[in-house]
Amino acid sequence: MPDDLPLSGIRVIDFTQVMMGPVATQMLADYGADVIKIEKPGTGDLSRTAFPNDPAGLLGPVYCSLNRNKRSIVLDTRSPEGREAVLRLVATADVVVNNFRAGVMERLGFGYEDMARLNPRLIYAVGTGFGLTGPYAHKGGQDVLAQAMSGVMHRRADPHLPLAIHSTTFADYSAGMHLVQGVLLALLQRAKTGKGQRISVSLLDSMLAAQTQEAAAHMMRGREVNWGAMPLSGVFPTRDGAVVLVGAFKANPLADISRALEIDDLSTDPRFAAHADQVANKPALHAIFRERFAAETTAHWLERLEAQDLLCAPVRSLAEALDDEQTAINGMVLEVDGEKERVRVVGSPVHMEAAPVAIRIPPADLGRHTAEVLAEIGLGAARAAE
């Protein structure tokens, strides 16, 4: 492990699985922490087999995406030997992270109070669905549930469309990044006080925080803010794709849009002269936009819009985004030879010039590092994993 990375010398005991928790522990691992991932015998992290039709014996892409730079060990945490191993590891640790449902760690004897007595300097980080206390504390948490219960699912650009599950797990990723922030802040405070503490982040809170502007508008003015419904913004099909346009942050964006679309200045049309008029007559306005955009290619319209300094972008598939030159320049695709196949995953969005992210430890087979880690704390591997 390089000793010049920001988190070199920090040991993290990782009880997390699937996404929210692994997002956090992977970020810590990427920047130098020694992350020891404790997995149960036989199956390990549920994400190892998230795609049941994967070729036999290969690690699942979901697991690979969030478990680089970690050491995997197998422990039966309910056995006396497994429990002893956990306690010895925690005694050497700076951070423990889990994202189990409330009460699980306590029933195992690994709750915060137990761990803090063993290691008063410990940062005990908990990812939950809805919080540590309250009526939903024991409710199973999941990304889609947080989208639903936070109002995110209810808020959509077109309120006439049916409610739907979003295809990307925003809540998990957002909460995982907030959990990283909490761990780093707690480590900074420990450097001042010498004391550890418990921190917690929930999926629900992360989704509410993501709506901070909209929530303030509702609570303070009783207004609903829908950025996706603004009259000068939208997604418009072109001859060979689609363009997203954000007509904002300019004195008269509609005049600029009109010039870009090579049509008469719509801002002089009484139907669209003021913002209130544009809102009231949005269907007619967008019908004009759609007709023009459909007549030419995406590249043509991007050039025209950008010449007017309008905010715009092509609508791309994930495959197209991954193949984009900017993605490569940003170092957002990492590759390494894994134990059984070539691993290709998305890199870190945080770019430190003095600490670039690299895959030092490929996503590991289940229990790959059990003997190594247990030897470090003076235990044999066989009985602890049984």
- Residues facing residue 252 across a β-bridge: none
In the chain, which residue ranges form alpha helices assigned H by DSSP? 20-30, 61-66, 80-91, 104-108, 112-118, 143-150, 170-193, 203-210, 212-221, 253-261, 275-280, 282-293, 298-307, 318-322, 325-329, 370-376, 381-385
- Of 143, 172, 205, 256, which one is the catalytic site residue? 172
Count the Cβ atoms, other than its own, within 10 Å of residue 190: 18
34: left (phi over 0), alpha (psi -120 to 50) or beta: beta
For the packed helices 143-150 and 170-193, what is the interaxial angle rounded to 10 degrees? 90
CA 197 – CA 217 distance, rounded (Å): 34
Edge-to-edge strand list for the sheet holding 123-128: 70-74, 34-39, 11-14, 95-98, 123-128, 197-202
Amino acid, single-letter form, for residue 338: G
The DSSP code for 135 is T
- Of 59, 82, 69, 84, nearest in space to 12 by CA: 69
Burial class for 175, CB neighbours closer than 10 Å (0-12, 13-18, 19+): buried
- Which residues face 11 on adjacent strands? 34
Q: Among this protein's residues, is 30 annotated catalytic?
A: no
Token digits of residue 174? 């957002």
- Burial group, residue 96, by CB count within 10 angstroms (0-12, 13-18, 19+): buried
Three-point CA angle 64, 70, 73, nearest 5°: 100
CA distance 238 to 236: 6
- Catalytic residue numbers read 172
